[in-house]
Every structure is written in C-alpha cells, then in structure tokens.
Amino acid sequence: MPGRLTHINASFPADCDTHPMSDAPPLFAAREPIFPRRVRGRFRSLKWAILVITLGIYYLTPWIRWDRGPNLPDQAVLVDLAGRRFYFFWVEIWPHEFYFVAGLLIMAGLGLFLFTSALGRVWCGYACPQTVWSDLFYAVERWIEGDRNARIRLHNAPWDGHKARLRLTKWAAWLLIAVATGGAWVFYFADAPTLLRDLVTLNAPVVAYATIGILTATTFVLGGFMREQVCIYMCPWPRIQGAMMDPGTLTVGYRDWRGEPRGKGGIKRRQEAAAEAVGGGDATPRYGAAATPDGDKDHAGGRVARDGTVLGDCIDCNACVAVCPMGIDIREGQQMECITCALCIDACDDVMSRIGRPRGLIDYLALDDRPPVLPGEHAPVRPLATEGGDAPETAVPAQTAAAREGLEPGRRATDVDGSPAPAALTADRPFITQGVGDWKPQPVWKHIFRLRTILYTLAWAGIGVGLLVALFVRPEIDLTVAPVRNPTFVTLSDGSIRNAYDIRLRNKHGEERPFHIGLTGDGVLRIELEGEDDLTVDVPANETRLQRAYVTARPQDAAAGEARSDLRFWVEDLVSGERAFEDTIFNGVESNDERFGSAG
C-alpha cells in the first residue's frame, strides 16, 4: 500500500543464524504516486460545490468593502495587528475581548467532534484545506495531462520534450494557484487594494513578501507533491478520530456480507466492460432505480459463476480503488488513511447501476449495521422470483461467516465446516443470499441523533448562544482601573490619605466622545484627574485613553483609617448617556501601620 506502514513479521525460523531484525522490511515504504481516476456522482458534485464555495470565500473575502465611517478601515474582514483590532463586518473585537475568538475556537473543536462522531472524517474528506487544494491541483493535473491512464503513461515515460512541456505547464499553473493562495492570506491583515498596489510597486513591507513566499512554497509542495502524505504522516487528526468514533458512527464502508465472494461471473460482457470504464470519462454514469428485486442494498444478487461458485455483488472491477485519492482499497475495511471523501461510493454506485444491482455496496455505514450473524450460524436467504412463483426460503451459511473463515473469490460457497452449500444455489436457481430474515439496519437518523452527538450539539449551541448574548449586550464604552502600587497610598501634609489609579477608557464609537468620570464609596471621597480642570475627558473615536486619577480621604473619614475600603469608578458617555463601572479598593492607614509616603 503506497505510503503506509509496513508491519514487521515477528516470527522467525528456529534455525535462523542471522539476527531476526536483519531481514525485516523497513518501517516505511517508499511513496508510490497515486493517480485517481475522474468520477462523477452525488458526492463528487458535493465536493465540487464545497471546493468552489470555500475557495471563493478565501480568495474574495478580503475584497468585500464595509463602510464603518471616517478614520476606520472599510474592509469587511480585517485583522488589524497595528491597531490591535479584529473587524468582521459589523463586529469589532478589541484585545480585551479575545474571549470571543477563544469561544469560536472552542466551537470549531466541538464541531469537529460532533461531525466526526456522527459522520466520521467528513471534515477531512470535504472541507479540510489540504483536501480542497489537493482537489484543485488534481483538477489542473487532469486538465493538462489527462485522466488516470494518461497520467500513468506519462509518469512511466522517459523525459522528452512532450513530457517536459506538460510537466512545466502543470507546475506553472500550480505555482500561480500557490501565489494567489499566499497573496490572499496577507490581504486579511491590511487594506487589500492598498497592499496589492504596494506589492506590485515593490513598496510593501518585507514581512508581506516573506509571508507570501512561505505560503506559496507550502501550498505548492503540500498540494502538488505530498498530498496524501500530509494526511497520513503530518496531520494528527487520523489518530485522534479513533476516540471520537464508536460503532454507531456513519463512515464509508463496504457491505462485505453482500459483496463477497468477489468475481465477474454472471454478468454480461457489455455490462462488465461498462463497469471497467466507470470514472474514466469513457462512459456516462447513470443513476436511478435498478431493475432488482425490492432494491435491497443489504442482500446480494444471485450471481453464479460457471464453476457453480455463488458470488456476491462485487465484480472486483477495482473502480473504488482507482478513484481513491489516498490509494487504499475500502473493501479491506476501515483504515486510518481513509478521509471519508465518498468518491468510492460514486464509482461503485455507477457499477452497480450498470450491472443491474442496487446502489449501496459501498456506502455510509456504521459498524452496528452488520447483519447479526456470527461464524457458524446459518441465515435464511430469499430466492429470486421465477415464473412459477417465489421459491421457499432455504437456510444456507451466511457469506459473512464464510468470508471470516477464509472463503476466497472463485471458490464454491461452503459451510464453515467445509461441507458444500445446499444444492439449491445453482445456476438455474440463483438466490439472494446473506439476508437475515426481516432484519434491517437502523435508519440514518438514529445514527446521527445519539446521546454523544446530542451532548456535543448542546455544548456547541450553548457556547454559541453565550457568545451571541455577550456580543449584543457588550457596552460601547468600557474602562479598566489599575491602582498604583508604589506607593499604595500617600499621606498629605494635612493628614489626608491619597490613592492613585490608572484608568483606561475605551471609546468604541466612530466619533470622539466626552466621558465623565465619577466614583461611589462612603460618600465623602474626593476625586481629581491629572492634567484636567474638571472630571470630563475627551476620548478619540475607536481609541483608548489612559488617565491618571487621584482619590483622597480626609483624616476624619472612615476610609482613611481602614486597611481597605470598597470603591467603584463610574464613566458616563455625555452624548449617549451610556454608563460603565469598575470596582476597586481604597488603601487606608491602620493604627499599627508604619508605612507612610512622602507628604504632597
């Protein structure tokens, strides 16, 4: 398997003279290029739609304009590092409001947990940046070099003018995409039209060129050459997903109880040829109800090979392998490399439609969707309808049990103890096998709405509602108060006790506003503002102002003789009347306190 771990065989002959590990295979196999075949279908169309939407959002968002008034950027989404501000349309996040960003990150994590527990690695298969850009690079590669077979021939061909021209053209297109990717990123951190002009005229900051260069290189290498290796070796999510999934999680799987044993017998040559061409662009996929009894996707058809072997629905065309961008065979079971992109479902569905079988041999399945038949048990099977009517049910060994006991394609179906299957399974009496009475898998909604997914949803929604409430109730003015600690208080010549405070005022309005500062305490404390004649200060639009304030208690006041007294600063916007407050303390002198500051 390309790029997969190679397991070391721990068993060695007793008479082995060499060290056991000397003949062991390497831990890592050399990467073999993967050339996915083009496929059409529901999931491929969904992936194209998500690709267009996500790339459109990424490339176009910095160019959306949003009028915020004078002295403010008119870019809808902007991370203003110089101004220490984050703008998202009408939302403006200040540095002290980073909890909004933290909440969004927590919601993103819970969203990943939710989708993984319900639908497996759908993030990896549809919306992960590595998947999106790899899909885009694959599309460019197919457009220039052709589909799977053409690319394989080109890869194996010696270098000549034709190969060099195609490769250079492809790499040039990749490089343009990579440069656009790096350029779009830096536009989120400065005014996009201004920065673009500076980039073209070579007047942009060095950090902008460096960022574009780094992101161009990583996009070009990761999306064009490493591809599935990023998912297998660099990304931690394939390892984490195991803790997020359970037997009820829907993920891409293969109905082996319906498909095994594999083989091409029992289908017309024309259907077989059409199935082999699926995804290669040589045949147009056709979806719709297949001419099958009941359209039951959990029961195999009655295909019987010339030698009498009872076959499942899988014709072993390898269409699912040819379209896989990870280069795996989903019929081997769930694997760490599988990103749940579902392209194998599209390929297999088209094959089933062409050979007259129901779609769903490869499908979104859960582990507990397997029929409840254990090795050694017999399952009732239903014969195909004949002109004389329905044949009675007959008990035969379940194909699942036979497969678990080592049944290989091409062998006649036998019981797990080696005895032949009932004679009813012959070419003239084909049966639908592997059914278990009236057993049916759970409906999809039961897999999605489980206790775990409901708890994830409630936690995700709770954080989201909390952030929305915090966003809409936050004030347009704000203040923070920091008592000056050195010294904690000063004793004046008349015996009064004075404390100093640094007050930071925030004006979130788009215009300058006058703020009035006051306080509440024991009703006798006095306040003065440094450099101001009164208690009103002007705060510029969308700015903060640091103001030093002095609070004094007379010798006869209770606050002067107590170690600490509660104090509350108030600020009022004289234009809108909006108010905000901050609690702090006033430090006084205790009877046994010998700490005195210099008189003022």
Tell me the angle at which helices 161-186 and 42-60 cross, rounded to the nearest 10 degrees. Answer: 60
Rounded to two decimals, the pTM is: 0.73
pLDDT band of 5, cuts 50, 70, 90? very low
Which DSSP state fits 434? Answer: S
Which DSSP state fits 247? Answer: T
Please, are residues 243 and 116 in contact by the beta-carbon 8 Å criterion?
Answer: no
For the chain, the domains span 42-63+97-182+198-244, 477-587
What residues have CB less than 8 Å from 21, skipping those under 6 apart? Answer: 8
Q: What is the pLDDT of residue 279?
A: 44
Strands across the sheet containing 394-397: 394-397, 378-383, 431-432
The structure tokens 């703008």 sit at: 87
Nearest-angstrom CA–CA distance, 264 and 315: 5
Nearest-angstrom CA–CA distance, 326 and 432: 33
Which DSSP state fits 412? Answer: P
Q: What is the pLDDT of residue 50?
A: 96
pLDDT band of 155, cuts 50, 70, 90? very high
For residue 565, pLDDT over 90 is answered with: no
Token pair belonging to 372: 């409840």
- Give the DSSP letter string of 9-25: P----TT--S-GGGGPP
Q: What is the pLDDT of residue 110?
A: 93
When pLDDT is averaged across residues 363-376 and rounded to a whole number, the result is 73
Element (H, E) at 448: helix 444-448
pLDDT band of 580, cuts 50, 70, 90? confident
For residue range 473-511, what is the model confidence (pLDDT) as tens digits?
887 778 889 998 888 888 888 888 899 999 998 888 777
Nearest-angstrom CA–CA distance, 213 and 220: 11
* Nearest alpha carbon to residue 483 among 589, 599, 564, 584: 584
Please, are residues 414 and 402 in contact by the beta-carbon 8 Å criterion?
Answer: yes
Token pair belonging to 391: 């044949």
For residue range 37-81, what is the model confidence (pLDDT) as tens digits?
999 999 999 999 999 999 999 999 999 998 877 667 889 999 988
User: Helical H runs in 277-396?
Assistant: 319-322, 343-354
Please, are residues 363 and 253 in contact by the beta-carbon 8 Å criterion?
Answer: yes
Token pair belonging to 548: 């030093």
What residues have CB less than 8 Å from 458, skipping those under 6 apart? Answer: none
For residue 310, pLDDT over 70 is answered with: yes
Nearest-angstrom CA–CA distance, 222 and 272: 37
For residue 409, pLDDT over 60 is answered with: no
Burial grade of 39 (CB within 10 A; 0-12, 13-18, 19 or more):
buried
Least confident of 103-107, 364-368, 520-524: 520-524
For residue range 261-302, what is the model confidence (pLDDT) as tens digits?
888 766 665 555 555 555 443 332 322 223 344 455 666 566
Least confident of 94-98, 113-117, 159-163, 254-258: 94-98
Token pair belonging to 89: 């349309």
pLDDT band of 18, cuts 50, 70, 90? very low
Least confident of 454-463, 477-486, 514-523, 549-558: 514-523
Least confident of 48-57, 170-179, 347-356: 347-356
CATH topology of domain 477-587: Immunoglobulin-like (2.60.40)
Exposed e or buried b per residue across 227-245, where buried means at least 16 C-beta atoms within 10 angstroms of its C-beta: bbebbbeeeeebeebeebb
Alpha-carbon dihedral of residues 536, 542, 548, 552, nearest 10 degrees?
50
Q: What angle do CA 162, 164, 169 make, to 5 degrees?
A: 100
Nearest-angstrom CA–CA distance, 225 and 561: 75
Per-residue CA distances from 301 to 330, 378, 592 (Å): 21, 18, 97
Q: What is the pLDDT of residue 46?
A: 95
Please, are residues 34 and 326 in contact by the beta-carbon 8 Å criterion?
Answer: yes
| 420 vs 534: which has the higher pLDDT | 534
When pLDDT is averaged across residues 307-324 and rounded to a whole number, the result is 87
For residue range 221-249, what is the model confidence (pLDDT) as tens digits?
999 999 999 998 888 888 888 788 888 88
Please, are residues 586 and 523 in contact by the beta-carbon 8 Å criterion?
Answer: no
What residues have CB less than 8 Å from 243, skipping those under 6 apart? Answer: none
The residues that bridge with 572 in the sheet, in sequence order, are 516, 579
Nearest-angstrom CA–CA distance, 188 and 29: 40
Average pLDDT for the chain: 78
When pLDDT is averaged across residues 385-402 and rounded to a whole number, the result is 40
Q: What is the pLDDT of residue 362?
A: 93
Percent of the chain with pLDDT over 70: 75
Q: What is the pLDDT of residue 522?
A: 52
For residue range 511-531, what is the model confidence (pLDDT) as tens digits?
788 999 888 755 678 888 988
Percent of the chain with pLDDT over 90: 36
Long-range contacts of 152-158 (CB under 8 A, 24+ apart): 152/35, 155/33, 155/35
Nearest-angstrom CA–CA distance, 580 and 189: 31
Nearest-angstrom CA–CA distance, 135 and 124: 12
Give backbone dihedrals phi and psi of 112, rounded to 5 degrees, phi first: -60, -45
When pLDDT is averaged across residues 151-179 and rounded to a whole number, the result is 94
First-to-last alpha carbon distance for the chain, in angstroms, is 82
When pLDDT is averaged across residues 428-450 and rounded to a whole number, the result is 63
* Nearest alpha carbon to residue 80 among 547, 506, 542, 546: 542
Amino acid at 251: T
Give backbone dihedrals phi and psi of 28, rounded to 5 degrees, phi first: -120, 135
Please, are residues 144 and 169 in contact by the beta-carbon 8 Å criterion?
Answer: yes
The residues that bridge with 483 in the sheet, in sequence order, are 501
Element (H, E) at 365: strand 362-365
Q: What is the pLDDT of residue 590?
A: 65
* Nearest alpha carbon to residue 137 among 149, 119, 151, 157: 151
Q: What is the pLDDT of residue 224?
A: 92
Q: What is the pLDDT of residue 473?
A: 81
pLDDT band of 11, cuts 50, 70, 90? very low
